[in-house]
Each structure stands twice: as C-alpha cells, then as structure tokens.
C-alpha cells in the first residue's frame, strides 16, 4: 500500500472513531428501551448464564415479546465486563463495528472495482494501469471517508442498534465472497459472516438470501470456477451456523410473532376501503370489479408503495423518518451529496466498469428496500440500513467523476486564472458547511429537541429513587406511554442483581403495558385516586397525573416540559 | 392518410376518456367550477363579469381570489350554446385536454427530429437511415401522445373545469411553435444543395416571424390562464431562448418584434401583477410565513450560546431554502407519482398514482437513456420538468398535481422514450422456453399488467369514485336548489347554510339568475383581508356561524347541514351524498 494512501486511511479511521466514540454515553442523551434491554440481558447472561426470563444461553431474546436476535447482547458482554453496566458499554460494540464498517468499505471498494482490473471512469483507453490504480485508491478512500462522516451511519453506530452490526457483517460477507475467486477458502469466512448476521437482526433474514443470490448471479462465471468442495464446505458451515436458529424457529411458536406484528398483511386497515368496494361490486354484479378490487391487489400496491418510499429524496436528504433515526433538521444523508449521488448512479450505469460489477452494484441497491417493503411504518431507516455503504460508494463515484470533469477543463480564459479551483473550493466549502451543520445538529441540537423520543429522564429519577427506596413500602411505576417498558430502565440503572431478579421470578410479561415487579417496585398502570395504601410512591409522566399532587421530585426534558415525576401518596 | 391513422385513434381514445359522462362524473361542480360557469354566463349576457367589471383582462374576482380570466372567456360559447350546465362548464377543459394530446404528438415529433434538420433532408447518422430517424420520432411521438391520452393525471384534470389544464395546453403549444420556429431557421441553414422538387421559401423571415409570434402569444395566453404559468412560462421561454440563442440571433429583427409583441400583450395585466391583490393567493399558501421556523432557529442559536457561527448555520433564509427544497422534492415523491397520487380526491382517485405503476421502469430507463443518448432537443425535457415544479414548491400543500401540471407531458415523453428504447433492445434476448422467445412471453405479461393497471384506474373511476368522494365535489347543492326553486313561491325568505362553502354561487348557477339582477340586489361584505362574501341576494340569505336568521315572523324556508337542524323543526326534505350520508336538510 502506498504510504500516502495509508496515512489518509488512518486519518479517516481517526475521524470515524472520533465521531463514533466521543461522548458516546451522553449523546444521544439517554438509551431507548431496546438499548437497556440488550444491556441488562447481557448483564444477566454474564452473571447467571440466563436472560431476564431465565432462559439459559438464549439465541433469541424474548425481551418485549419482540424476540430480538441475541447476538448483540453477547457482543456487549466483554464491554460490560470492562466498563460495567452503563450506556457507554452497551453502545460500544455498535460503535466499534461502525468503525470497522468504514475500513471494510475501503477494502470492499478496492476489491469490487478491481474485478478484472477494468476500472476506468473515462472511456479513453490510453489511461495507464498506474493511473487506474490511483483512481481506484481515491474512490475507495472517498467511499470510506463518506461512510465515516455519514449521518445515517453515525446515527446507528452511536446507539445499540443491532442492524448496524449487520452492515459490517454484510460488507465483510461480500468482500470475502469476492476474495474467494482468488483464494477459495475465503468463502468459508463469507458463509460465517452471513450465518452470524442472521443472529444479529431480523431484517437480515430476508436480506441475506437476496444478497447471496445476486452475488452468485452477477459473478456466476467466477463463482463456477471455484472448486465444488469449497462451495459445499461453505454451505455446510452456513447450515451449521444457522441450525440452532432454524430449530428455534421451528419449535417456538412465538418466534415469528415479531414478523407478524410489523408486516402489512396483518394490518386490516389497508383493506377497509376495499371491503366497501367489493360490496358495491357484488351489488352491481360487476365481475370485472370483483377481479380488480381483489384484496391481493391492494396488498401488492402497499408492498410496491413501501418499496418506493425508500427512493424518496425527501426521506433521504431532508426529512428522515422517526426522530430517533435522524438529527433535527436533516435527513439521512448530506443534502450536498444529492447531485453527486445522482451523477454516481448515472456514471455507474454508463461508465466503463466491468459488466458484472455494474449489475451487482445496481442489484445490491435495488434489493435493499425489499425487507422493509412488507412492513408498516415505511420508509424505515433501520430496516433499510443496508443502503450503507452502497449510497456512499455511488456518491463517491459521482464526486470522483465531477472532480475529473472540473480538473479536465482546459486552462484558458476564466479557468486559466484558477477558475476551476474556485469551483472546486466552492464545493468543498459547501461540503464543510453541511458537515459542520450536521455536527451541531447531532451533538447539540439533538439532545435538546429529541430528548423525549429517547425516553429521557430515567437516570435522574432512578438515582433519586434508589436513595429513598427504603422509606416506602411500595413504589409503583407507570408503564403506559410515555413510560413504556419502564421496568427495564429500573433494572438497568439499578444494576439490579440478575440472580436476585430471577429468584423473584424474572420478567413476567413482555407485552406493552404488561405488569412486572421486583423488590418493592411494581410496574403497571395506575390511577392516583385508586391507590389508597399508605407510604407508597407513584412515578409517572404527565399522562399519569391529572394534577400536581404531592410531587417530591421531577425531571424535565431540556426544553422545560415535564418528563417524569415522583409523587408521594 | 395511413400515416395519420394512429394519431386519430389516439385522439378518439383521448376524447372518449375525457368526454364520456363528463357532466355526471365528477358527480357535481366545485364552487370554482360553478364560478367559471356563472362568470361565463355573465360575460355572455352583458359582457361584464359577476361583479360588473366590463370585459376584464387582468383578473376575475372569485371568492376573494383574483384569477386569470381566460377560462371564463373560453366558456362563454359553450354556456351560450349548451346552457348553464355541468357539461358546458367543463367543456373547455376537456376539449383542450384532447388538443393537448394532439399538440404533444407534434411537439415530440419536432423534439426528436435530427438536430434542426427537416426530416426530408436528414442525413444518416449513427448508421441509421433518415427514414428510420423519422419513424423513430414518429413512434416516440405516438407513444407520448398515447400515454398522455390514458394518463390518470391528465384525465382527472381534464374532466373538471381546471384552468391549469388549459394553461398546460398553451405551454405545450408555445414550446411546439417555438421549436418549429427554430427549426425553420436551421433547416434553411442546413440545406446547402436542395434536393429536387424543393424550393426554398422566398421570404425566409416570414415563416419564422409567424411561428415565433404565435409561440409568444401562446405563452402569454397561459399567463392569462393560470397562476403557476406566470412563473413557469417566463422561465421556460428564457431557457428556450438561451438554448437557441444562435438561431434567434440569426433572425434579430423578427426576434425583436416577437419580444415587443410579448411586452405589449403583457401590458393589460402588468399593473395588476404588481398590486397586492395579485399576491393575495400566494400569501395565503406560501411556506415563508411559517413563524415556527424562526422560533425554531432562535432556539437552536440559543442552544449554541448565541455563538456567531450558529447564527450563520441556523440562518432562517437557509432554513426556508431547505424548506422550499423539501416542498419541491415532495412533487417527485415516488408514492405520489406512482402509488397513491395527490392526496386531494379532486385531482386523483386515490387508487393509482399520477402515473401508472407499470410506467415506472420505463420512466427511469427513459430518463437515463435520454440523457445518455442526447437525441434531438433532449435537454428540453428534463429542464421543462424541473421548471414545471418551481412554483408548486413555494406552497405549503405539496405534492400538488394541479400546480405542477405545467410539467406535462414531460413525464410521458420520458416514459415513451424508455418504452421505445426497451422495445428496440429487448429482441436481442435469445433465451427460449418452449419455442417461445422469453422476451415475447415477458412482453405479453407486461402488456397484460399495463392493461389491467389502466382498467383498475378507469373502472374505479366509473364505479367507485363518484360514490366515495361526492362530498369533496360539494354534492347536494344541486338537488337542494332544485327543490328550493320548486317551492320558493310559498316562502318570503330562504335561508341557506354556508357550511358546505360558498352557497351563493350555486344559487346563481342553478337558478340561472340574470347577472344584472344579481348585481343590483346583492349584499356584499369584504373583510380586511380583501375576502369577499355574498351575504344575500334576492330571496336568498346565506347563514354562517356568526350570522343567524333574523326576521322570524315571516314564513321562511331553511336549508341546513343535518347537525344544525333544530330539534322541533318541520323537516321537508333531505338531500344525500352518493354514499348515502346526509348532506343537507330542508325545513321550515
């Protein structure tokens, strides 16, 4: 590796690490319920070998009845061992894999676009191999650099989002698959990556089969040259890794419940309008109508709509989706990237790349929204997170092309006097501006405007309550919105001994508004006027208390609105 | 004749899809439609509009909105001949809708001819013969026209009195004439040795002058037809002029004449355009009056401890800029374009997008390959599309099918180009299954999909649409007014509710009240914002939340919404929407 390239790569890694590790436990201001659940389950497994329900070494965490793949929790164990149970420790694996993804992106771009070493952006055939290699390096560095500062990737690298690990595993999976054309044993690693990815995030179960399929189809020539025994061996590895998961899915009737709740096929509101139409068609004896107004047509339209919603510029560049998935005032990518992304797509299709690489990259882009398209709440930045790093690679292609265009402007007239460098620096200025804006939005504005969406307030409340806990017979904590799954926050921040917790029965219910209890805490819905016992504390949000009552402690969101308060009865 | 067969067939299809049941579906008139109809009626009676302005050129006032007047004038003759009816009111829009399809055909033909060379003299390029070049332009033109003819977007907007639809016609015509003018200059330059039987026109400038003048007139007419055209037409003409500056400079005198003509034609409206009334509608709908943006920016600056750099990155102009971009890009939302369409049921059936889903792959392929292959005046298509959306981005309600209609038929041209490109390439696929070429099998399946996509739209439009959305079209006024008319002699006063919006125009429309009489005995109230409200005319008195019926002694007839009917009143008749819910009740 060239020395210059090496230095640049190190620089990119430093930037990526800084952006992912600095104030990791403090921004976003508080963990959401999934983060505390992953953290406490890891803590419980570390201490007892069992999860919160007492299940021994689970491969799937029942958690809030959403049956999370358990791998993330296991990855958290070492960091909890070192840093104890806290927000930083829970987020650390995601951040580390985020940094690894940046490096993986660099390696992947180099591997992918050197396929048959025909990387060339301009059609002239005179370009020397050296120049091509140099361009390939720039492209790989640009892609990795964009990944390092990607708002989308940073958002999910700084939170315990399992899907983010999936990104790293996918990129490595593809990288090793491509490397296997030269050294076939890499295929084993590839199989291992994809096998593991099924244990990390639900969406991967749909995405990975598609990914493998398009890899095999796009590179069928190279793939068929690999000796059969390697292919069979890696299939075996994949099967062995998958086996426990398959067994679990077959034997546990609740395993698919998460898929059912998020899929549109269980969403009856979609076909409401249709029922009316079908009734009218029946009344009119309208056979054509009965065919056209079929329910399946309606579902097919929803799937198509869900898919297409991920190609909305507004979602990508300006709005984002729910508050936890983006920073205030920005989308998932930098606005300045928009033109380069479009140019990049165009150049990828018409530029001088190997056909198989073109086909694979386009297909890769196209299969990403498939898992999300059959779910409610689209577009969805987590379920479509496998757009990373493909969007960054496309943008990098666009930037590289634009740079070449500008630098190739013949030096005469206005461009002789440094005009083209003016354009160049203007773009750079816009980019830096956009980046600085993002930094401010992420590290300053996000905690102010989005605190409520991060279920802010528990840390302070629990610190307070743990001090006075002994003085009360019972402490009742609301578990209705916005205090959903409050029991897990208490377990997490109290670092409640898992052995003790399991002895008391562990988690009783993972349902929303399901009742749970441990020590002298009860987590359930309450009505102030109905709780007549002496010496009890009530903890809830403004939705739980109609009046001020005897409030002894309160926590506000940064914008001054009440988050949680403690009331003495 | 044979060369015209296809376009005639397409026009027949377009005509059928726009005129079939035009008076009955959409199920009733919106107040804007009723206002166009009554203004046309009024202009046809004594040359004055509803409020008595003689032959207004700058605007027609309607519910406090100041509308460009052309639609009313176009509607004078239909209303004269057919009477004040739904069909007559919608006739100009539907007719111009069909004509747009025709002009789109000629436009696309011009667009894809070899650069500036008349097809007869086209030299072979890229190994294609001149005739194949002509037939290519012909095919893409036919496809574009056909796609426009069956477009849900264009059908929906052609089937109601939307002046935007007429403005679109003028813009398409303007572009077509402009390109023809430019071509007339180019073809002269290109022909160094005229082939046999061809004589150059003796007065070279005249043809150009005529074409460019009519182009300018057409663009100006669009400005007199719909608000958004006031933004789109000037930008489009400037961009065209810039793109063809060489040709225009070859004809300096004629171009100058056309510019003068344009300025003269704009004079009648110039005064109005600079007045506060002209921007009234804009002020009502624009995104820059959102105070929340400024509060938010101030908070963000405060969060940064009022640092100087924070004031730069949280500048409100910047935030408004991003907000504009958001509204602009809303109009390119794939869900809007291909799945659900405009959220307003007046512009879309809510069941298909503004375009058919089957068009999507071709639309994208069309964009990519048109840019790649740069055929004909390719650059006009994307530029026009992007310009057509500019005004809509300024408004809060986005996406908005009506306000971006001026970008039609560019969407169809892209799709047509994509289809043409794919059909040329696809026969290269050699895979076979059971002796049938795979691509043929695929093509047949896709064709079936496309046809059922169309049937899905049009069946829904005929069978379900009027029943589901009759309320959106203010259904109920007509029935109730016909009833009122049949019994009004028994009552001294008739009170009608304003809850369904602007009842007076419906009473004028359906009672065919003589405008001279109306102007004499109406009571008009204007509020501080310039909104105009008709309190009563003749026997009819219009109630709203503030204003209740006064003289209780007389025998009076009331028409109210069901929720506002007093308990002990004597109910005479109820009027229903097409989905069987009550819309109005008449009682004493």
Among residues of chain B, what percentage have pLDDT more than 90? 56
Q: pLDDT tier at B530 (50, 70, 90 boundaries)? A: low
| B60 or A132, higher pLDDT | B60
Predicted confidence (pLDDT) at residue A34 exceeds the cutoff of 80:
yes
Q: What are phi and psi of A536, to 5 degrees?
A: -125, 155
Mark yes or no for CB contact A433/B313 under 8 Å. yes
Mark yes or no for CB contact A309/B335 under 8 Å. yes
pLDDT digits (tens, 9 = 90+) for A68-104: 899 999 999 999 999 999 999 999 999 999 999 999 9
Predicted confidence (pLDDT) at residue B126 exceeds the cutoff of 50:
no
Please tell me the least confidently modeled range out of A261-275, A309-323, B450-464. A261-275
Rounded to whole angstroms, how far apart are CA atoms B277 and B59?
10
Q: What is the mean pLDDT of residues A231-250?
A: 91
Residue A445 is nearest to which of B300, B335, B452, comparing CB atoms? Answer: B300
**Alpha-carbon distance A271 to nearest alpha carbon in chain B (angstroms):** 12
pLDDT digits (tens, 9 = 90+) for B169-188: 999 999 999 999 998 887 66
Q: pLDDT tier at B191 (50, 70, 90 boundaries)? A: very low
- The ipTM of this complex is 0.92
Predicted confidence (pLDDT) at residue B196 exceeds the cutoff of 60:
no
pLDDT digits (tens, 9 = 90+) for A273-315: 788 888 889 988 888 888 888 888 989 999 999 999 999 999 9
pLDDT of B129 reads 55
Rounded to whole angstroms, how far apart are CA atoms A293 and B426?
32
Predicted confidence (pLDDT) at residue B546 exceeds the cutoff of 80:
no
Rounded to whole angstroms, how far apart are CA atoms A490 and B348?
51
Q: Is B158 exposed, middle or buried (0-12, 13-18, 19+ CB in 10 A)?
A: buried
Predicted confidence (pLDDT) at residue A161 exceeds the cutoff of 50:
yes
Predicted confidence (pLDDT) at residue B127 exceeds the cutoff of 50:
no
Structure tokens at A225: 């040259």
Mark yes or no for CB contact A301/B330 under 8 Å. no
Mark yes or no for CB contact B303/A281 under 8 Å. no
Winning range, highest mean pLDDT, from A34-43, A408-417, B267-276: A34-43
A311 touches chain B (CB under 8 A): yes
| Sheet architecture: strand order including B582-587 | B522-526, B532-537, B540-543, B493-497, B556-560, B582-587, B571-576
What is the residue-averaged pLDDT of chain B? 87
pLDDT of A121 reads 47
What is the residue-averaged pLDDT of chain A? 90
Q: What is the mean pLDDT of residues A215-230?
A: 92
pLDDT digits (tens, 9 = 90+) for A452-486: 999 999 999 999 999 999 999 999 999 988 898 99
Q: Of A43, A184, A164, A34, give the one whose Cα is nearest residue A98.
A: A164
The H or E element spanning position A427 is: helix A419-440
Rounded to whole angstroms, how far apart are CA atoms A203 and A386?
10
pLDDT of B440 reads 82
Q: What is the mean pLDDT of residues B233-253?
A: 93
Predicted confidence (pLDDT) at residue B251 exceeds the cutoff of 70:
yes
Residue A308 is nearest to which of B338, B460, B464, comparing CB atoms? Answer: B338
DSSP letters, A277-344, are HHHHHHHTT-HHHHHHT-HHHHHHHHHHHHHHGGG-HHIIIII-SSGGGS-TT--SS-TTHHHHHHHH
Q: Is A181 exposed, middle or buried (0-12, 13-18, 19+ CB in 10 A)?
A: middle
Q: What angle do CA A142, A148, A150 make, to 5 degrees?
A: 95
pLDDT of B124 reads 41
Q: pLDDT tier at B121 (50, 70, 90 boundaries)? A: very low
pLDDT of B205 reads 80
Please tell me the least confidently modeled range out of A111-115, B301-305, B427-431, B560-564. B427-431
pLDDT digits (tens, 9 = 90+) for B42-66: 999 999 998 888 999 888 888 878 8
pLDDT of B553 reads 56
B111, B21 in Cβ contact below 8 A? no
pLDDT of A154 reads 97
Q: What is the mean pLDDT of residues A211-231?
A: 92
CA B585 to chain centre: 35
Q: What is the mean pLDDT of residues B285-301?
A: 86
Q: Of A447, A150, A204, give the one whose Cα is nearest residue A324.
A: A447
Rounded to whole angstroms, how far apart are CA atoms A162 and A157?
9
Q: What angle do CA A148, A151, A156 make, to 5 degrees?
A: 90
Predicted confidence (pLDDT) at residue B244 exceeds the cutoff of 50:
yes
A274 touches chain B (CB under 8 A): no
Interface residues of chain B, partner chain A, Cβ below 8 Å = 299-300, 303-304, 309-310, 313, 319, 322, 325-326, 329-330, 332-335, 338-340, 357, 360, 368, 371-372, 452, 455-456, 459-460, 463-464, 467-468
Rounded to whole angstroms, how far apart are CA atoms B251 and B219?
20
Beta strands (DSSP E) in A318-430 are none
pLDDT of B558 reads 86
pLDDT of A202 reads 86
pLDDT of A413 reads 65
The H or E element spanning position B262 is: helix B252-273
A465, A537 in Cβ contact below 8 A? yes
**Local structure of A519: helix, strand or coil:** coil
Q: Of B115, B223, B118, B226, give the one whose Cα is nearest residue B165.
A: B226
Question: A268-271: which pairs have CB atoms within 8 A and are 24 or more residues apart?
Answer: A270/A298, A270/A299, A270/A302, A271/A295, A271/A298, A271/A299
Mutate to test the interface with A, among B315, B317, B325, B329 (most CBs of A within 10 A): B329
Among residues of chain A, what percentage have pLDDT more than 70? 96
Residue B455 is nearest to which of A288, A312, A444, comparing CB atoms? Answer: A288
pLDDT of A119 reads 46
**Local structure of A229: helix, strand or coil:** helix
Structure tokens at A299: 């579902």
Among residues of chain B, what percentage have pLDDT more than 70? 89
pLDDT of A218 reads 93
Instruction: Name chain B contacts of A309, Cβ cutoff 8 Å.
Output: 334-335
Predicted confidence (pLDDT) at residue B17 exceeds the cutoff of 90:
yes
pLDDT digits (tens, 9 = 90+) for B306-334: 999 999 999 888 999 999 999 999 999 99
Rounded to whole angstroms, how far apart are CA atoms B23 and B39?
18
Residue B54 DSSP label: B
A290 touches chain B (CB under 8 A): no
C-alpha to C-alpha distances, A496 to A36, A52, B181, nearest whole angstrom: 13, 11, 83
Rounded to whole angstroms, how far apart are CA atoms B253 and B255?
5
Rounded to whole angstroms, how far apart are CA atoms A189 and B52?
84
Residues 128-187 of A with CB under 8 A from B: none
Instruction: Name chain A contacts of B303, Cβ cutoff 8 Å.
Output: 444-445, 448
B262, B200 in Cβ contact below 8 A? no
């Amino acid at each position: 590796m060239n020395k210059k390239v090496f230095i640049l790569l190190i620089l990119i890694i430093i930037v990526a690490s800084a952006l992912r590790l600095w104030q990791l436990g403090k921004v976003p201001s508080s963990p959401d319920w999934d983060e505390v659940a992953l953290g406490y389950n890891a803590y419980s497994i570390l201490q007892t070998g069992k999860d919160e329900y007492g299940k021994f070494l689970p491969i799937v965490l029942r958690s809030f009845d959403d049956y999370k793949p358990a791998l993330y929790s296991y990855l958290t164990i070492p960091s909890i061992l070192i840093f104890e149970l806290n927000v930083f420790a829970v987020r650390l694996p995601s951040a580390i894999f985020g940094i690894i993804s940046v490096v993986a992106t660099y390696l992947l771009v180099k591997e992918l676009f050197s396929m048959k070493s025909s990387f060339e952006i301009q059609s002239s055939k005179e370009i020397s191999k050296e120049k091509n290699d140099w361009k390939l390096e720039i492209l790989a560095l640009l892609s990795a650099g964009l990944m390092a500062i990607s708002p989308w990737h940073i958002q999910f690298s700084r939170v315990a989002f399992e899907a983010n690990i999936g990104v790293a595993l996918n990129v490595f999976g593809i990288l090793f698959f491509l490397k296997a054309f030269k050294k076939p044993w890499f295929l084993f690693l590839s199989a291992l990556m994809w096998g593991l990815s099924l244990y990390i995030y639900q969406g991967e179960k749909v995405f990975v089969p598609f990914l493998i399929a398009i890899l095999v189809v796009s590179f069928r020539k190279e793939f068929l040259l690999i000796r059969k025994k390697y292919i069979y061996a890696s299939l075996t590895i994949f099967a062995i890794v998958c086996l426990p998961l398959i067994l679990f899915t077959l034997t546990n009737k609740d395993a698919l419940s998460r898929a059912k709740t998020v899929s549109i096929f269980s969403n009856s509101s979609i076909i409401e309008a249709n029922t009316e139409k079908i009734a009218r068609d029946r009344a009119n004896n309208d056979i054509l109508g009965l065919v056209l107004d079929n329910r399946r047509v309606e579902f097919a339209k929803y799937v198509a709509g869900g898919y297409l919603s991920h190609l909305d510029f507004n979602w990508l560049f300006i709005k984002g989706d729910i508050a936890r998935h983006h920073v205030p005032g920005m989308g998932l990518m930098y606005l300045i990237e928009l033109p380069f992304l479009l140019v990049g797509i165009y150049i990828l299709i018409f530029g001088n790349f190997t056909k198989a690489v073109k086909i694979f990259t386009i297909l890769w882009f196209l299969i990403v929204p498939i898992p999300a398209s059959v779910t409610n709440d689209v577009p969805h930045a987590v379920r479509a997170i496998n757009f990373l790093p493909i969007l960054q690679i496309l943008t990098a292609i666009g930037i590289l092309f634009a740079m070449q265009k500008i630098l190739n402007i013949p030096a005469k007239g206005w461009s002789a006097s440094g005009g083209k460098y003016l354009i160049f620096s203007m773009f750079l200025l816009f980019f830096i501006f956009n980046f600085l804006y993002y930094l401010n939005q992420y590290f300053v504005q996000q905690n102010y405007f989005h605190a409520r969406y991060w279920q802010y307030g528990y840390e302070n409340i629990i610190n307070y309550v743990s001090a006075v806990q002994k003085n009360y017979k019972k402490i009742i904590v609301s578990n209705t919105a916005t205090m959903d799954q409050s029991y897990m926050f208490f377990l997490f921040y109290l670092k409640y001994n898992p052995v003790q917790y399991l002895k008391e029965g562990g988690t009783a219910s993972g349902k929303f508004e399901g009742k749970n209890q441990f020590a002298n805490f009860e987590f359930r819905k309450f009505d102030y006027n109905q709780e007549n016992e002496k010496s009890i504390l009530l903890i809830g949000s403004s939705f739980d208390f109609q009046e001020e009552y005897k409030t002894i402690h309160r926590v506000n969101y940064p914008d001054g609105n009440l988050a949680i308060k403690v009331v003495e009865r | 004749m044979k060369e015209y067969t296809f376009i005639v067939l397409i026009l027949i299809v377009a005509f059928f899809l726009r005129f079939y049941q035009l008076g009955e579906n959409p199920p009733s008139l919106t107040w804007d439609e009723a206002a166009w109809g009554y203004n046309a009626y009024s202009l046809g009676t004594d040359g004055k509009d509803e409020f008595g302005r003689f032959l207004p050129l700058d605007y027609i006032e309607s519910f406090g909105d100041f509308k460009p007047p052309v639609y009313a004038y176009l509607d004078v003759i239909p209303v004269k001949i057919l009477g004040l009816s739904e069909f007559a009111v919608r006739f100009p829009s539907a007719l111009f809708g069909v004509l747009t399809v025709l002009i789109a055909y000629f436009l696309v033909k011009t667009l894809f001819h070899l650069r500036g060379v008349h097809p007869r003299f086209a030299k072979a390029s890229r190994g294609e013969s001149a005739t194949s070049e002509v037939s290519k332009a012909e095919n893409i033109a036919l496809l574009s026209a056909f796609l426009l003819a069956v477009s849900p977007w264009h059908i929906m907007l052609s089937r109601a009195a939307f002046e935007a639809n007429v403005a679109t016609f003028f813009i398409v015509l303007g572009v077509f004439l402009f390109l023809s003018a430019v071509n007339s200059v180019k073809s002269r330059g290109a022909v160094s040795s005229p082939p046999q039987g061809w004589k150059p026109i003796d007065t070279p400038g005249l043809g150009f002058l005529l074409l460019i003048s009519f182009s300018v007139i057409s663009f100006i007419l669009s400005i007199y037809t719909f608000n958004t055209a006031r933004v789109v037409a000037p930008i489009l003409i400037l961009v065209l002029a810039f793109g063809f500056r060489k040709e225009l400079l070859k004809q300096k005198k004629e171009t100058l004449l056309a510019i003068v003509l344009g300025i003269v034609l704009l004079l009648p409206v110039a005064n109005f355009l600079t007045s506060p009334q002209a921007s009234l509608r804009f002020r009502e709908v624009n995104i820059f009056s959102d105070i929340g943006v400024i509060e938010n920016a101030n908070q963000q600056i405060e969060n940064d401890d009022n640092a100087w750099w924070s004031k730069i990155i949280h500048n409100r102009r910047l935030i408004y800029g991003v907000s504009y971009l958001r509204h602009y890009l809303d109009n390119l939302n794939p869900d809007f374009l291909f799945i659900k369409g405009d959220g307003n049921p007046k512009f879309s059936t809510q069941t298909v997008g503004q375009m058919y889903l089957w068009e999507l792959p071709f639309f994208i392929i069309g964009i990519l390959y048109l840019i790649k292959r740069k055929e004909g005046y390719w650059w006009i298509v994307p530029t026009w599309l992007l310009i057509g959306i500019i005004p809509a981005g300024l408004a809060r309600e986005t996406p908005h099918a009506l306000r971006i209609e001026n970008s039609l038929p560019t969407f169809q041209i892209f799709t047509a180009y994509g289809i043409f490109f794919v059909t040329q390439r696809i026969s290269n696929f050699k895979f076979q299954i059971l002796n049938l070429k795979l691509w043929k099998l695929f093509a047949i399946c896709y064709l079936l999909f496309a046809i059922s996509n169309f049937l899905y739209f049009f069946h829904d439009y005929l069978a379900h649409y009027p029943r589901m959305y009759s309320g959106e079209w203010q259904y109920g006024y007509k029935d109730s007014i016909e009833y009122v008319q049949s019994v009004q002699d028994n009552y001294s006063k008739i009170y009608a509710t304003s809850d369904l919006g602007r009842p007076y125009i419906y009473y004028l429309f359906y009672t065919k009240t003589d405008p001279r009489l109306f102007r004499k005995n109406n009571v008009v109230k204007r509020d501080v914002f310039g909104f105009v409200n008709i309190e009563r005319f003749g026997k009819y008195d219009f109630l709203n939340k503030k204003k209740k019926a006064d003289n209780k002694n007389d025998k009076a007839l009331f028409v109210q919404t069901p929720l506002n009917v007093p308990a002990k009143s004597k109910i005479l008749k109820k009027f229903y929407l097409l989905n069987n819910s009550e819309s109005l009740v008449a009682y004493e």
